Amino acid sequence: MSALLETKGLTAHYGDFQALFGVDIRLERGETVAIIGANGAGKTTLMRSLSGVLSNDPDMIHNDGAAVGALGADTIMKRGIAMVPEGRKLFPSLSVEENLIIGGQHKGGRDMGDRIDGLIARITGGDDPSALTGHHDGTGYWTLDTIYELFPILRERRNNPGTALSGGQQQMVAIGRALMSNPDVLLCDEISLGLAPVVIKDIYAALPKIKESGASVIVVEQDIGQALKVADRVYCMMEGRVTLTGRPEEISRDAIHEAYFGAAA
């Protein structure tokens, strides 16, 4: 059976600089996978590739058996893969509630723009860029109300500008915004970065509920302890390669240390 999300020899470049060298990772339905690695290991680059922000060869990324590596971020999102980007990236011009709403506003299905593009493609004989969207309808457990149940503080702050919140609250908005499309896959890039331990605990407390809603999750974490606690499987990256993979209970601290910093360290 094909994995929910899978990379096959994924490479990525920024100009002449190569950031990923043949990365193979797999996410099965219902799993939580953690990606760990030092600064600059390529974790964010991997997430940007998975979410379609960086474009790749079609065959380098598979979603439910379909080759999706070359699809754009908007199409990937409509296939049910949502991202909580590094640095939260809330929209400053939108209120907290608008930030949430916009996460679910363009979910799933072919909209009018897609149909126009499809029509143009048919006339010009090109490929319909949205042909691969449509199987994910974006409906499910998550609505404004259930997001506010998950993070009650956001209801109180719903009319504030998104950027007028504390770091932890902003992170909650970023997670809620991604959940609003009722994704099959939730990609989280360093959701604990820069937050106090109690706040991190609050945020990770949402994970069981998120999994219960049917989403499979990939979290990028610098905090190894946190990663080992929540993940079913862990991948460790170093300098653009996967250096270690396994279940948290199978891998030793020494092995992680070596995979994280290299053998010399």
Partner 1 sequence: MIWVDTLVQGILLGGLYALFAAGLSLVFGIMRLVNLAHGDLIVLGAYLILVVVSATGMNPIFAAAVAAPVMFAIGWTLQKVVLNRTLGEDILPPLLVTFGLSIVLQNALLEGFSADSQRIGFGALETASVPLGPVTVGVLPLMTFGTAVLTILVLNQIFYRTAIGRAFRATSDDATTASLMGIRPARVFATATGLAMVVVTIAALYLGTRANFDPSIGPARLIYAFEAVIIGGLGSLWGTLAGGIIIGVAQTLGAAINPEWQILAGHLAFLIVLLVRPRGLFPRGKD
Ligand X SMILES: Nc1ncnc2c1ncn2[C@@H]1O[C@H](COP(=O)(O)OP(=O)(O)OP(=O)(O)O)[C@@H](O)[C@H]1O
Give the footprint of ligand X on this chain (CB under 6 A): 14, 17, 19, 37, 39-45, 86, 222
Residue type, 164: A
- Please state the closest distance from residue 180 (CB atom) to partner 1, in A: 9
Q: Tell me the C-alpha distance between 73 and 119, whole Å.
A: 21
Rule CB under 5 A: say whether 44 interacts with Mg ion: yes
For partner 1, give the closer residue by CB, 71 or 230.
71
101 binds, options partner 1, Mg ion, ligand X, none, Cβ within 5 to 8 A by partner type:
partner 1
DSSP state of 158: T
Q: Tell me the C-alpha distance between 247 and 99, whole Å.
A: 35
- Using left for φ > 0, alpha for ψ between -120 and 50, and beta otherwise, residue 112 falls in alpha
- Please state the closest distance from residue 98 (CB atom) to partner 1, in A: 6
Under 8 Å between Cβ of 224 and 255? no
Residues 224-263 that bind partner 1 (CB under 8 A): none
Q: Tell me the C-alpha distance between 185 and 250, whole Å.
A: 25
Q: Tell me the C-alpha distance between 259 and 194, whole Å.
A: 24
Residues 179-208 that bind partner 1 (CB under 8 A): 181
94 binds, options partner 1, Mg ion, ligand X, none, Cβ within 5 to 8 A by partner type:
partner 1
For partner 1, give the closer residue by CB, 18 or 93.
93
Closest residue by beta carbon to Mg ion: 44
Task: List the structure tokens of 237.
Answer: 């990256």
Binding letters toward Mg ion, positions 51-90, x by CB under 5 A? -----------------------------------x----
Under 8 Å between Cβ of 83 and 180? no
Quickly tell me which residue has 């279940």 as its tokens: 247
- Please state the closest distance from residue 57 (CB atom) to partner 1, in A: 20
Name the residue among 223, 214, 52 with its Cα closest to residue 139. Answer: 214
Where does this chain touch partner 1 (CB under 8 A) — which range of 89-97, 146-154, 201-209, 229-237? 89-97
- Please state the closest distance from residue 125 (CB atom) to ligand X, in A: 35
Under 8 Å between Cβ of 166 and 192? no
DSSP state of 41: S
Residues at the interface with Mg ion (CB under 5 A): 43-44, 86
Kindly list the residues in this chain that would bind partner 1 in the complex (CB under 8 A): 51-53, 72-74, 77-78, 82-83, 85, 89, 91-94, 98, 101-103, 105-107, 113, 177, 181
